Chain A
Amino acid sequence: MRRWDSDTIRRLVAALAEPFRETFVLREIQNLSYREIAEVAEVPVGTVMSRLARARAMLRSAWLAEEEQPK
């Protein structure tokens, strides 16, 4: 496995589709609670949960796809 690369992570997060990117950034970078994210995004907490799970899954797939493909 390639070593942890913050530029790659930043690029992959930036490439996430909205609203998944917003949800991911508010949680993992701004460290907001689900309730706080729900208020900011004006959606129910259940929507925050599903967006976050989906965002993480998409980021993981994008990361794995990068690893298979040497630059």
Chain B
Amino acid sequence: MTCDEAEVLLHALIDGELDAGHAREVESHIAGCPRCAAAAAEIIAR
């Protein structure tokens, strides 16, 4: 999964609209990508 894909799916995850399989993929991408982890923290803080 690319960072761009992860960011789009992260919005869906936060909105509670992502299926479990994709949710796991996003979570594992974020776990291994400091840049996306920072972006995720910022989106959640808004």
Using a CB–CB cutoff of 8 Å, the interface residues on chain A facing chain B are: 27, 33-34, 49-50, 52-53, 56, 60
Chain A residue with Cβ nearest B11: A53
Closest beta carbon of chain A to B45's beta carbon, Å: 12
Q: Assess whether B17 is in contact with A53, with CB atoms less than 8 Å apart.
A: no
Bound: A33/B12 CA distance, A? 10
Task: Give 8 new A-B contacts, CB below 8 A, not counting A49-B17, A52-B12, A53-B8.
Answer: A34-B12, A34-B15, A49-B9, A49-B11, A49-B12, A53-B7, A53-B11, A56-B11
Q: Assess whether A33 is in contact with B17, with CB atoms less than 8 Å apart.
A: yes
Residues of chain B within 8 A of A53, CB atoms compared: 7-8, 10-11
What are 20 sample pairs from A and B whose C-beta atoms fall under 8 A apart? A27-B15, A33-B17, A34-B12, A34-B15, A34-B17, A49-B8, A49-B9, A49-B11, A49-B12, A49-B17, A50-B8, A52-B11, A52-B12, A52-B15, A53-B7, A53-B8, A53-B10, A53-B11, A56-B11, A60-B46
